[in-house]
Amino acid sequence: MNSVYVGNITITIFGESHGEAIGAVIDGLPPGLKLDLDSINKEMDRRKPGSSKLTTMRRESDQVSIVSGLFEGYTTGAPLCGLIYTEDKKSKDYSELKVKMRPGHSDYPGNVHYRGFNDYRGGGHFSGRLTAPLVFAGAVAKEYLKQEGVVIGSHLKKIYNVEDKDFGSFGSEELIRLSEMSIPVIDPEVGAKMEAVILEAKHDEDSVGGEIECMALGVRVGIGSPLFNSLESRISSLMFSVPGVKGISFGRGFGFVDLKGSEANDPYYMAGEEVKVRSNNNGGIIGGISVGAPIVFKVAMKPTPSISKKQETINLETKTNTELEITGRHDPCIAIRGVPVVEAALAIALFDAYLEDKKWN
């Protein structure tokens, strides 16, 4: 069940990087949910490869064929299946990797776990390409959240040593504007610096990591649960299902250790009949439940492990130490295409939490 998300909806992601197709099956969708296919394709376009010099040159359209669960634009209540066919694979680039394990990749633990039968081409089932069906599932979740008045957006908070501003008092229109940017940043000057850092790493046959800050506006108070099924737990679980994500922090995150309680607390106040908070240090979640403030968190994504620089590794066949120079097409910074993936994971978590909340009605 390692490829199945089980909650109030069930999502199964299938396929390998160089297989015939990848996709997702979403079960438990409420019938009668209208899907805007143009919006869904727009989300897919944000993640697809080969769209700029800052990403891999692998050319995939990543168009989704919905083959079940949709009739006349509305979900039927039956499992919704989306297929994404593979169009551009160069499997010969990976022939050496059958025995030479890529540092920083899942090749070695995957080989042991699957007893040597795993598809190693392009990373197989571990590949970042499997984030495409995750984005599809997230796009469906966003369609539901739109009806609830929830808007999700992200920006690149940091790429290597270049840092953008934090989210301030952002509105829905500003979040939507970020989704239309090739390098989504708050400070335009920072975007040019980030591009330069990425291209420098690419030129040096290396890669760089990044930090993504994500926000959800319009999440009503009371969504989530305490302890094991907290809203932070749901979100974090899905974030760590995104290849390359190695850390997450909500609100001030690790910055809380430098504060006193009087500085860290978010005081409540009445705005007419509405309860609000004067600050949002906790990132919109307290006790595992939304407080009605924007949900804000950051995720850290590691540098792409597939780099052309010569690296030390092992040869599993000969049981010897060796060196490896990775060929093929790879992103010099996976955080660029990670932005819509992080948003998709958040959308799934919120969708699931909203469905849970409806059980109380």
Two tokens, residue 8: 């109030």
Q: Can you spell out the DSSP letters for 97-117?
A: GGTBPPTTSSHHHHHHHTTT-
CA 49 to chain centre: 15
Q: Which of 258, 252, 161, 179 is nearest to 217 (CA)?
A: 179
Alpha-carbon distances of 91 from 1, 53, 108, 328, rounded to whole Å:
27, 22, 19, 9
* Tens-binned pLDDT, residue by residue, of the chain (361 aa): 578 999 999 999 998 878 888 999 999 999 999 999 999 999 999 988 655 667 666 666 788 999 999 999 999 999 999 999 987 666 565 677 888 888 988 888 888 888 888 888 777 787 888 999 999 999 999 999 999 999 999 999 999 999 999 998 888 899 999 999 989 999 989 999 999 999 999 999 999 999 999 999 999 999 999 999 899 999 999 999 999 999 999 999 999 999 999 999 999 999 999 999 999 999 999 999 999 999 999 999 999 988 888 999 999 989 999 998 887 667 899 999 999 999 999 999 999 999 999 887 6
* CA–CA separation, 138 and 78 (whole Å): 18
In this structure, the chain runs to a length of 361
Compute the Cα dihedral for 354, 249, 110, 59 and give only its sign: positive
One DSSP character per residue, 55-96 reads S---------EEEESEETTEE-SSPEEEEEE-----GGGGGG
What are the structural domains, with CATH classification, of the chain? Answer: 4-358 (3.60.150.10)
Neighbour count for residue 150 (Cβ, 10 Å): 23
Strand partners of residue 34? 74
- Cα angle: 287, vertex 141, 288; to 5 degrees: 5
Output the six-digit token pair for 149: 């008045």
Residue with tokens 């120079």: 325
Which residue reads 């790429």 in tokens?
Answer: 159
